[in-house]
Structure 1
């Protein structure tokens, strides 16, 4: 047995989410909120996935401007990706695909599941006619920044904040 189950034969399948996946999407999103925003941003409601996630994910399943993917290993959802595509404003008239959230359960990391989710997102973005893909990460989340840089993303803008 390997320390990283995702390295075992039979990688997770990346597929579009279905209605039956909504509870797993909520659980995956809740894990992301707890691990990322919960540790880095006191202004984020870490209970949001439990109170609003099911409604939001259900609405996104049939929305052509939204993408909901799951990473499925033997019938178990081990991760997700959510993204959108939208036309930019007149000041920046390009269609932009935004990777909103990405999560892979810790014990399934290092097996390219995250990369496969990002690849599927970028393929979808191109199919939608997007000219730019974007993702945000907390500045303190060096692992996420390195992951996105390995997957072709680079610095674009910097948002500075100050609690009041």
Structure 2
């Protein structure tokens, strides 16, 4: 099996990233590969790419995007002004699940957070993603908070 390379996403990766999310029926985000929606995704990509605190990544194998995730660095007054990494939008292509790609993506994040001296790594996961919860717990994450959302659109 070809090795997985994790790298920062490039604009050319946007359609493949969108396809990962559009294929996810459980996520409920309304993502679509419809060409009319692509400008919104490219706008989001540029906003993330221009941010000093956010980074979008892809996991690539044999030249194909097989996974994606985003990291954000957040500094708060709590924890003596400590900084944390927040992992969001973790997705592995459906036909590639169970091959260790998700674990490699999360380990990449943990190593980066250690190198940068961050105090913790946190993530949220859709309440319906029971398999994902077990996956994160196997990697050492602990359930610690409840999350709340207020939808504006």
**For the structure 1 residues 108 and 143, does the alpha-carbon distance in structure 2 shift closer, same or farther, using more than 3 Å as the test?**
same
Aligned to 1:143: 131
Alignment partner of 1:137: what SS? Answer: coil
**For the structure 1 residues 74 and 130, does the alpha-carbon distance in structure 2 shift closer, same or farther, using more than 3 Å as the test?**
same
Aligned to 2:19: 27
C-alpha distance in 2, partners of 1:37/1:60? 21
Shift of residue 35 of structure 1?
Answer: 2.6
User: How many residues of Structure 1 are paired with residues of Structure 2 in the alignment?
Assistant: 144
Alignment partner of 1:121: what SS? Answer: helix
Compute the TM-score of the two structures, normalised by the length of structure 1.
Answer: 0.76
C-alpha distance in 1, partners of 2:5/2:27? 27
Alignment partner of 2:135: what SS? Answer: helix
Compute the TM-score of the two structures, normalised by the length of structure 2.
Answer: 0.80
**Conserved 8 A contact 1:26-1:54:** no
Which of 63, 87, 95 is the matching residue for 1:107? 95
Displacement over 6 Å in runs of 4+: none
> Tell me, which stretches of 5 or more residues in structure 1 are unaligned?
1-8, 39-44
Alignment partner of 1:37: what SS? Answer: coil
Aligned to 1:18: 10
**Conserved 8 A contact 1:82-1:102:** yes
What do you get for the CA RMSD once the two structures are aligned? 2.3
